[in-house]
Structure 1
């Protein structure tokens, strides 16, 4: 059976960009008659808040997006909150360590910054690590460890990687793409890349639909699936929503939140109708229930470039000005 998931980080309120991805992921699974999982990715405890987790789930249910398994309903693969699954990640880390796939990295922030400043030293996920700590001798590691606690990096294999994304199409990446990456931080916090691989495999996730900003994470995750001898899901990365200023909607930019829209008295059908219109599932932003879109969903109809959301559209959701229902939303500033 097809199984999908929505896995937010509860470090802020659910905004329209989150809701857009959640709706499309939910529709993909519901249209196929599959099971949908809610998972809270709160592994970075300093950034996560339980109250945000509760609000996110409440906002999604208000929109008409439900789930078959999750933190509040349980299920056969419980717990569905990452901070309660740390033993699984530690076991995977130990397996990688035994097989020689990890090495300690002692680079300081200043050293990593110098990497980022070098030509071609950045990927969309940050600095491309040069592997400078990979070849340290045992004596050199001992000397560095006396000064600084290390992070742990995954040593990339000497082969390239190919996969086909549901929207972005064929992806072919050379060996070493992105550089060796951190799987455990120097402060002991286990990293997203490892945790999401362990969880998707353990929960039997077959299909992952998420934002295009995570496309660069996919090669790293596929290599971890390979190293741990686990079955990877199929991936689909949908283009992002951009605000009127051309910047993508995100928590960092205090984007429009679903909680704020609710407080303005806007009905959930108005939000779903806008999201469906932006996605390309409807030809106008008419009010709709999420369930009414299930029969209409086709991945081939989903927009293939980012959508710039107009000021009028945002104002309409807050009820502060009349919306022009026929106004065209612009394409991504990157297109």
Structure 2
């Protein structure tokens, strides 16, 4: 993004007079700039994907944050200010704080409090206009289909080398075992794998949630950013994604993971939630294994380059493969503990 582009877009969107800007974050998904004006400080976010995907990300985040701030959550999430869909950019209020490096008990409790507040908003009159979260999974069959599709797409990548192929082989074998275990668990709990969870059991979800998208604000509260995938979802997916996410992963700390699981159960905890979480958790682990391997897809590598993320291709692929292998090992241990042949 040329300096002139950032300045020109910021001048169009920012209230008042632009005083300066600086890059603050580069990820595989977006670029964020800190914008100073005579009316305050703002975050200017560029969404690098093109076409419908970029438009959907902007709409979900801008609209979702508008809903949240209109319903009493301003201060802990950014407030949407202005957007330029043609440029793939949106301006938000600046959350003044520091990124969090890892989970601790206080952070886990703050995440749970935020999820509680989100869940409480599901009955607001305008909540029903919010779409499903990106890749929402309202049924076991839907989740299995998503993982199968991800594995099939990865198989077609020209970037795979032997170790990556072996990781996919093991993941496919583990998915077959996880499917058997989940179907048996559903049968025991008298649940239908194809049944959509009722709206009363769904929740509003950031869909990309955890310590990697949290900041410690100057007043001591915890704030949250990145709502590109916001929408309605099964709370089982929200819980499982938070447990498996490789950034600050709770999977590496059994005590904190159990603290989060118990807290989430107190927010969402009907009997069906417990059964579905136990059955689906290994499958979500395999889904995250696939997500880590997305960098083997040529379009994903190009997306990182457009976002300005540093690092050579081989370095990126090796880093992501190590993450995927670690998650896969934990999934296999989980399945083995349930006496499923993996």
**TM bracket, shorter-chain basis:** under 0.3
Which structure has more relative contact order (CA 8 Å, sep 6+)? It is: 2
Which structure shows the bigger proportion of residues in helix conformation? 2
What TM-score does the superposition give when structure 2 sets the normalisation length? 0.25
What TM-score does the superposition give when structure 1 sets the normalisation length? 0.25
